[in-house]
Chain A
Amino acid sequence: MVNVCDTGVELCGVRLDNPVIPASGTFGFGREFAEFYDLDILGAISVKGTTREARFGNPTPRIAECRGGVINSVGLQNPGIDAVIGEELPALRRIFHKPIIANISGFSIDEYEECCAKIDHEEQVEIIEVNISCPNVHNGGMSFGTSPGSAAAVTRAVKGVTTKPVFMKLSPNVGDIVSIARACEDAGADGICLINTMLGMRIDTMRRRPVIANKMGGFSGDAIFPIALRMVYQVAGACALPVMGCGGVSCADDVIEMMMAGATAVQVGAANLRDPYACMRIVEELPERMRHLGIERLKDIIGVVR
C-alpha cells in the first residue's frame, strides 16, 4: 500500500513542486493560459524564446497541421530582451510564483552572451535555457546545435556571463546527439534540455506548393515522442548532467516514461496548443498514475531504465 505521493524534483538546486514545465514557444509569457487556470500548479514555466532585438519572425502562413502534430516556422517572434525584462517577466511574476526559466536564442555568439548577461541580473529567473537550434549568421546559417564545436562555443560564452544554471536546449536534427550533449557538458553546461522540433514539411496538393511560407518548419506533437524519449535516454546515459525531456508529451504516463528514460523534469509543448489545460491536466493526473505504478517519490524513477 503506497501512501506517499511526492512529485517534487530538483534541477541544479532549484526545487520544483512537480516536473511539469510548459515548453518555450507554446506558452507565451503565461498570460493567455492564466485565463484558463492558476499557473502556480505548474512546476516551472519556460517562457517565449528571446533574442537581443525584437523580431516579427517568418512570413505567414507559418503553421501547418500534420498527423500527430504541427509544423511551425514562427521564427522566434518576441519583443526583444529589454522588453522581456522590463515588461513580460514582471507581468508573469504577478501571476506566477514558481520558478521561471528564461529561453535565450541568438544568431551570433555575441548575441547569446549579451542576452544571458542581461538575464543574469533578473532575480525572478532561476534557470537559463539556451536554444542552439538557430542559424549562425557568421557561419553560413548552420545551426549552432549541429556541431559539437559550435555548441561548446555558445556554452562557454554563456557560462562566462552568468552564475545561474544554464541548460543547453539541443536540436534533434543531428546525426549524433550524444556528441553534442557531451560537448556542452565539457564546456561547462549545468544541464541539457532536449529535444527541440524536428525539421519537417507539408505540401498543399491543390495549390502545388508548400503549406508553410518558409517551405520547412519545426515538427512537434505526439508523433515525435518516441524519438525524443530515445534521445533523452541516450543523453542521460552518456552525461552526468540533469536533463529536461521535451517532445510529444501529452499525458502523465508520458512524463513518467520520460523520467524513467533519465529526465529530471519534463516539458510539454504542442499539447498546449490543442488543449489549453494540457499542463494542468497532466499535473492532476500524476498522483493517480504514480499510485497505479507503485511510485512513492517521482524523483526515485529518474533514469531507472538503463
Chain B
Amino acid sequence: MYKKGLYTIVENRPLTAAVWRMVLAGDTQYIVRPGQFIDIAIDGLFLRRPISVCDWDDSTVTIIYKVVGKGTEAMSRMASGGVLDCLTGLGNGFATDNGSQSPLLVGGGVGVPPLYNLCKRLTAEGRRPTVVMGFSTAGEIFYREEFEKLGVDVHVATADGSFGVRGLVTDAIDAAAAGFDYIYACGPVPMLRALYDRYDVPGQFSFEERMGCGFGACMGCSCKTKYGNKRICVDGPVLKREEIIW
C-alpha cells in the first residue's frame, strides 16, 4: 500500500562531503518493511526522486542520500521547516521471515542506509546479524557508529585502505565475518554480483534503476528475473537470490 502526502523537513545535514541525512515528519503508516523507498517531488524537476528509507518511527522517516545530480543537489539546499510532497510505502522491501539466525548485511556506499532499519529489526527478532560496509575512502564512511550502537559487529572495507580492511566488501567478509547463513545486500551491481558469485548462501539483493513513476505504472524500471519480468519499483527493489538473472 502506497500513498501521497506532505512531509515537513525536521533535519537536513551532511554526514560526509557528499552524503546527507534528512528527517521528515508526517504520516509513516504506509512504510511497513525495511528496504522500501519514498519518491520525492522537487520543484522545477519533472520526475520524482526515489530515495530508500533508512529508518522510520510513528511520525518521522529518515533518508540518507548522496548528492549526484540536480535533484539531490536541490535537496541538500532545503532547510528545516520546508514541506515535501512524497509518495511513501513504495517497493517490496526486505523480508525477515526466513530461518536465518546469523545473517550478513552488506552495504556499499549509499547502499548502506536501508540496512539500518533492517539491522534493528533483525536484532529485535533475536537474530545475530553482522554488518559489512564498503566505501572508497575513510572520509566517505557514515553510520558505522550508529550500527555499532545496535550491538552488532561492524566491519568496514575501504578501496584505498584508509580505514578498516583494504579492498572490497568481499575482502572484509573473508577477513572477518565467518559463519553466516544468509545475505542481505544493497549497493552497486558489481558488488551484488561479487557477493552472489562468491557466497553460496540464500539471500536478498536490493537493486537500483532509473524510474519514471515509482509505483508500477510506466514500466520504465523493468528487469528480467527467473520468475518473469518484474518492476524494480513495485516488485522490487529487493529480489531473492534464486530469481536473479545477471
Q: Spell out A's residues near B (CB within 8 Å).
A: 25-28, 31-33, 35-36, 48, 56-57, 60-70, 72, 74, 77, 211, 221-222, 270, 272-277
Given contacts A26-B218, A27-B217, A56-B229, contact A274 B4 (CB under 8 A): no
Residues of B within 8 A of A221 (CB): 46
Contact call A276/B213, Cβ cutoff below 8 A: yes
20 pairs of residues in contact across A and B, judged by CB atoms under 8 Å: A26-B213, A26-B218, A27-B217, A28-B216, A28-B218, A57-B219, A63-B47, A65-B47, A65-B71, A67-B46, A68-B46, A69-B46, A70-B46, A74-B220, A74-B222, A77-B229, A272-B217, A273-B212, A276-B87, A276-B217
Q: In the complex, are the beta carbons of B215 and A60 less than 8 A apart?
A: no
Q: Which residues of B contact A275 (CB under 8 A)?
A: 41
Contact call B218/A74, Cβ cutoff below 8 A: yes
Contact A74 B219 (CB under 8 A): yes
Complex CA–CA separation, A275 to B41 (angstroms) = 9
B209 within 8 A of A: yes
The answer to whether A60 and B219 touch (CB under 8 A), given A65-B45, A277-B4, is no
Given A35-B1, A56-B222, A70-B47, A64-B229 contact (CB < 8 Å) = no
CA distance A273 to B216 in the complex (A): 10
Min Cβ gap A16→B in Å is 21
* A57 contacts across to B, CB distance below 8 A: 219, 222
Distance to closest chain B CB from A123 (angstroms): 25
CB neighbours (8 Å) of A68 from chain B are 46
Question: At the interface, yes or no: B221 with Cβ under 8 Å from chain A?
Answer: yes
Complex contact A33–B217 (CB within 8 A): yes
- Residue among B47, B71, B215, B223 with max Cβ neighbours from chain A (10 Å): B47
Using a CB-CB cutoff of 8 Å, which residues 161-219 of chain B contact chain A?
209-213, 215-219
Minimum C-beta distance from A19 to chain B (A): 21
